[in-house]
Structure 1
Amino acid sequence: MLPSRPARAPVVALLAALLTAATALVPAAHAADGPGSSGTREVSGGRLDWGIKSSFQSYVTGPIAQGSWELRGGAATIGGSRFRFHSAKGSYTPESGALEAAFSGGVHFTGHRKPDGTHELDLTITRPTVRLTGGAGSLYTATLYADMTSRAKGTGEVTTAAQVPLAALDVSGVDLRGGGTHVGLADVPATLTAQGAKAFAGYYTQGTALDPVTLSADILAAAAQASPGAGPSTAPSAAPSNASGEKRATEGGFTEAAVDWGVRRTFREYVTGSIAQGSWKLGDGAQDGGALFRFPRGKGTYDAGAGSLDAAFAGTLRFTGNHLDLTLGGVKVAVKEGRGTLSADVTGDGRTAAEGVPLVTFDASGLKEKDGLAAVAEAPAKLTAEGAKAFGGMYQEGTDMDPVSLAVPLDAKAALPPLPDLGSGSSAAPSAAAEPRTKSTASSSSSSSGSASFPAVPVAVTAAVVVAAAVATFLMTRRRTPTASTPSLD
């Protein structure tokens, strides 16, 4: 018995030390988490998909209202009847799951055109913001706000209001606590509020069911939040890097230009809709801005005096679906005498059909230099005869296509216009199967490593159990102690 006592003493001492350390370190470690745990973290990037009300869309564009809608501020469409709002900004609290995310973009509805050119139906909804507060499950409350301008039905009075509580969101069963770098909600039921009914110009009453809401938001890591610029970013760079500081344009030549083109909105809707049931895929550096695609790393020549430009861009764009396989690559832009032409190599059904096909012509008379950037923004574009063939005859020559934007940095300080930030959870096409209405995601990534240099394995295991017990005890005690900011969830 005596020989075992000297070995037992250091073991007991070790366990006592570990227990003391665990008791002291767990609260300290938790407090050190700061913004990553109990503190508020920044939302930066993401998208919200919402049809507002599908039957309202049908009414606006139908035979009675004979109207239309147009996208604003970089908003896009997804699937058959949903609008995509982008570039989420706001805050998120992992401890409670509270979320505030404001999105960019808007939609303008018009209908019932009057003889004087105005519309009896005139409604604009922009900058939707989702605020989710409270605790987990049924304790959460959620509201969708929006800036709204509307013409009252009957009186014609126009009212404008910022951040109207437009829709109440049913988030029963949702738990967004403990999220890491990404949180989201899928197909959340929405109903019109009293204030929303008034701002909706009286077309619907309070309690009317609206389309479900789906959103995702990227959450900045604590380190990136504490040190701006630290850590990776999922948002496209506003300007290409140029560490040497040298000019991007020399002797009429330039590099790092970009051209933005959405092809055609209704074509994108067809691709992701119920007929084609397809999607698109970007390659070789091309970027998705929701309502447009960016082809980057443009190289070429520019003559300001003559107003001429020739440039070749990187990136490929492939559309696939039922009876559809179309790839555009090798994009080039030529500008001469105020007229621009966008060309591309066109591949159909896996084979190269033609190279350098002039797809659209656009108005380049607005190409001007400012702040070291030669640019033209949202120039109207029309389909060429060759472009009509490339699209398999879906559209005739002269059809209006999405506008073309071109930006050419002429010096190191010039910044390309930023793309809408769709976040890391964005995709071109909606999921094939509808997700549960109460589905929420709060994802994070973590890693752990350790080593065991102490020779007595049973002691190490026992120590781990003691530490785990101390951690569990602390967390259970903490959770059962209500605070002013966090409701008791037991």
Structure 2
Amino acid sequence: MLPRVLSSAPSPALSRRRAGAAPTPLFAVLALALALALVALCAPLAAGTAHAAGAERHPARQPESRSAAERPVAGGRLDWGIKASFQTYVTGPIAGGSWSLSGGAATVGENQFRFHSANGGYDPDTGALNASYQGGVHFVGHQQDDGSYELDLTISNPSLSISGQTGTLHADMRSKERGTGRVTESSQVPLASVDLTGIDLTGGTQIAVTGAPTSLTAQGATAFAGYYQAGDPLDPLSFTADSQDPAEPEPEDSGNPEDDEESAPEETEEDSGAGETELADAAVDWGVRRTFREYVTGPIAEGSWELSDGAQDGGALFRFPLAEGTADPEAGTAEAEFGGTVRFTGNDLDLTLGAVRVTVADGTGTLLADITRDGEEAASDQPLVTFPAEELAPEDGLVLLSEVPAELTEEGAAAFAGLYPAGTAMDPLTLALAVSEDAELPPLPDLGAEPTAPAEPAADPEPTAEPEADEADDGGDNTPTLIATGAGALLVLAAAAYLFTRRNRRAAPTADPADASANSAEEPATSRNDEETPRS
């Protein structure tokens, strides 16, 4: 590589300049330089102003405003239909499938699933929320010859993570991949993005939001077995969460083993569940039948239900508390009476179930109840459903049969006036029998307090012809704006001067048209050759 030898002969470019091309006016150069300097000066000032304005309007997003104390969340519900068209597809003629609920999940309204028992933390200063809910829904469709399903998807235990005006819905997912049939099981997959634009969650004790838009995430699309793509809209989401006062610190351990021994209750033969034992506590949880509850509250019956005498509503089930009873876990027998009454009313409907009783013997349990129809007693101690109860082994003093299948009896079919035939699968039943004093019953699904005025996402703002003055003119320093305006004007003037000069230069006559065409074609190369750089 040899250095380029500079020739003393004038280059074509220099000849063209001497032939009449006017130099760039000095004022254009000065204007351009001044404008660039002003832009450089106002950029950090404008950025600082924008940052300050943002901090003023959205203080919850500033890290320094986060509160050190977080309030615990205990109780609340999450209502979400996942995707209405997916439900229709699953139960329609193509997939020919169905869905079922588990873990105390319920249905509410049209095509919505209700998850329960919110648990987590909430920061009232920033509105940050982390809440986990319980319950699951299982979709199946496209049954194969071997009885399995090509479509097999379970979504359970959803949780919300919210910061500012955005949130993410996570869930445990179990899905079967389309085509391969490979089963994937993942915990707390980021399933959906939640848009909370216009919602302020700060400063409250009960959080309640209704109709927040959701969309499928990339991870959710994968977990959804490829049925939908990332970004696809999902059903709106509604949720509540009840925050509590911060828990008091627990007393420290004394370190004296004798203190612990004195406070520990002595276990007796009766407490251990050996032989027939009088029940310390008990509960039976049963929702009758999901489709029956939907019929009661639907457009045909247009009704409701009412609980009394100690019965409790768990969303997808009713809890009947113990009145009295005994159990013999070794013999596999139990008999218990429960309090509580549930009354269903609606168009041409008035049905009451009360005086619930449960018996267990020979591996089978039976739930009985008094039936009142239209205000008159129709049957007493009527067997309604049977359920499997093959083993009554206590654990930590508790005999628990959780969500066992229940089947309608002949007498039960008569109690429902032939609405369902004998043998119909009713809602699963949970029976909890405490055979020791320190045994704890499973918690009832906690739906939280009834929301008084749920927050709704703000509608998209209508476009305006002009920006609103009071948003920008807040009494702050307008210097960066004025500088930017002046700099922009100078840039426009400099650009105009430069273009004017270029136009005059191109329009200037040349000595030889052929030379002009040659110079025009070789201009980029000539410009490069003017640089004093090595040339190969």
Partner residue in 2 for 1:23: none
How much has 1:244 moved relative to structure 2? 12
Partner residue in 1 for 2:118: 88
Is the 8 Å Cα contact of residues 280 and 436 (structure 2) preserved in structure 1?
no
Is the 8 Å Cα contact of residues 255 and 298 (structure 1) preserved in structure 2?
no
User: Does residue 177 of structure 2 align to residue 152 of structure 1?
Assistant: yes
Partner residue in 1 for 2:38: none
- 1:126-145 alignment to 2 at 5 Å? 126-134=156-164, 140-145=165-170
How much has 1:92 moved relative to structure 2? 0.9
Q: CA RMSD in A?
A: 3.1
Is the 8 Å Cα contact of residues 382 and 400 (structure 1) preserved in structure 2?
yes
| 1:169 to 1:252, Cα distance in 2 relative to 1, 3 A | closer
Letter in 2 for 1:185: V
How much has 1:343 moved relative to structure 2? 1.1
User: Does residue 134 of structure 2 align to residue 112 of structure 1?
Assistant: no
How much has 1:227 moved relative to structure 2? 4.4
- Give me the whole-angstrom Cα distance separating, in 1, the residues matched to 2:103 and 2:250: 26
Letter in 2 for 1:53: K
User: Does residue 339 of structure 2 align to residue 309 of structure 1?
Assistant: no
Aligned with 2:350 (options 325, 328, 333): 325
- Give me the whole-angstrom Cα distance separating, in 2, the residues matched to 1:52 and 1:370: 36
User: Does residue 381 of structure 2 align to residue 356 of structure 1?
Assistant: yes
Is the 8 Å Cα contact of residues 80 and 274 (structure 1) preserved in structure 2?
no
How much has 1:312 moved relative to structure 2? 0.9
User: Does residue 71 of structure 2 align to residue 52 of structure 1?
Assistant: no
User: Does residue 108 of structure 2 align to residue 100 of structure 1?
Assistant: no
- 1:160-309 alignment to 2 at 5 Å? 160-180=185-205, 182-222=206-246, 225-227=247-249, 252-304=277-329, 306-309=331-334
Q: Comparing both structures, which one devotes a greater share of its residues to helix?
A: 2
Is the 8 Å Cα contact of residues 38 and 94 (structure 1) preserved in structure 2?
no
- Give me the whole-angstrom Cα distance separating, in 1, the residues matched to 2:329 and 2:181: 49
Letter in 2 for 1:159: T
Is the 8 Å Cα contact of residues 139 and 151 (structure 2) preserved in structure 1?
yes
| 1:304 to 1:244, Cα distance in 2 relative to 1, 3 A | closer
- 1:447-466 alignment to 2 at 5 Å? none
Is the 8 Å Cα contact of residues 72 and 119 (structure 2) preserved in structure 1?
yes
- Give me the whole-angstrom Cα distance separating, in 1, the residues matched to 2:276 and 2:230: 64
Aligned with 1:438 (options 457, 475, 479): 457
The secondary structure found in structure 1 opposite 2:201 is coil
- Give me the whole-angstrom Cα distance separating, in 2, the residues matched to 1:244 and 1:173: 58
Partner residue in 2 for 1:43: 73
Is the 8 Å Cα contact of residues 69 and 107 (structure 1) preserved in structure 2?
yes
TM-score for both structures, normalised by structure 2: 0.65
- Give me the whole-angstrom Cα distance separating, in 2, the residues matched to 1:325 and 1:176: 42
| 1:325 to 1:436, Cα distance in 2 relative to 1, 3 A | farther
Which structure has the bigger radius of gyration?
Answer: 2
Is the 8 Å Cα contact of residues 76 and 446 (structure 2) preserved in structure 1?
yes
How much has 1:306 moved relative to structure 2? 4.3
Letter in 1 for 2:235: D
Single out whichever of 262-271 and 92-101 deviates more from structure 2.
Answer: 262-271
How much has 1:436 moved relative to structure 2? 7.3
The secondary structure found in structure 2 opposite 1:267 is helix
Q: Per-residue CA shift, 1:154-187, capped at 9, x if unaligned?
A: 344433333222222221111111102x111111
Is the 8 Å Cα contact of residues 39 and 94 (structure 1) preserved in structure 2?
no
How much has 1:48 moved relative to structure 2? 0.5
Partner residue in 2 for 1:121: 151
- Give me the whole-angstrom Cα distance separating, in 2, the residues matched to 1:304 and 1:132: 47
How much has 1:299 moved relative to structure 2? 0.8
Structure 1 runs, 4 residues or longer, greater than 6 Å off:
243-251
Is the 8 Å Cα contact of residues 327 and 435 (structure 2) preserved in structure 1?
no
- Give me the whole-angstrom Cα distance separating, in 2, the residues matched to 1:320 and 1:291: 18
Is the 8 Å Cα contact of residues 335 and 364 (structure 1) preserved in structure 2?
yes
Give percent identity, aligned residues only.
57
Q: Per-residue CA shift, 1:204-246, capped at 9, x if unaligned?
A: 2233221111111110113xx23469xxxxxxxxxxxxx9999
- 1:394-405 alignment to 2 at 5 Å? 394-405=419-430
| 1:270 to 1:191, Cα distance in 2 relative to 1, 3 A | same
Letter in 2 for 1:395: Y
How much has 1:255 moved relative to structure 2? 4.2
- Give me the whole-angstrom Cα distance separating, in 2, the residues matched to 1:219 and 1:386: 46
Partner residue in 1 for 2:486: none
- Give me the whole-angstrom Cα distance separating, in 2, the residues matched to 1:84 and 1:156: 29
User: Does residue 108 of structure 2 align to residue 78 of structure 1?
Assistant: yes
- Give me the whole-angstrom Cα distance separating, in 1, the residues matched to 2:391 and 2:198: 53
User: Does residue 390 of structure 2 align to residue 368 of structure 1?
Assistant: no
Gaps of 5+ in 1: 1-35, 135-139, 230-242, 440-479, 481-490
The secondary structure found in structure 2 opposite 1:226 is coil
- Give me the whole-angstrom Cα distance separating, in 1, the residues matched to 2:250 and 2:211: 33
Letter in 1 for 2:373: G
- Give me the whole-angstrom Cα distance separating, in 2, the residues matched to 1:91 and 1:416: 25
| 1:191 to 1:274, Cα distance in 2 relative to 1, 3 A | farther
Is the 8 Å Cα contact of residues 276 and 329 (structure 2) preserved in structure 1?
no
Q: Per-residue CA shift, 1:264-291, capped at 9, x if unaligned?
A: 1221222233332333222222122222
Is the 8 Å Cα contact of residues 347 and 354 (structure 1) preserved in structure 2?
yes
Aligned with 1:342 (options 343, 349, 367): 367
Letter in 2 for 1:284: D
How much has 1:75 moved relative to structure 2? 1.9
Letter in 1 for 2:417: G
- Give me the whole-angstrom Cα distance separating, in 1, the residues matched to 2:186 and 2:200: 31
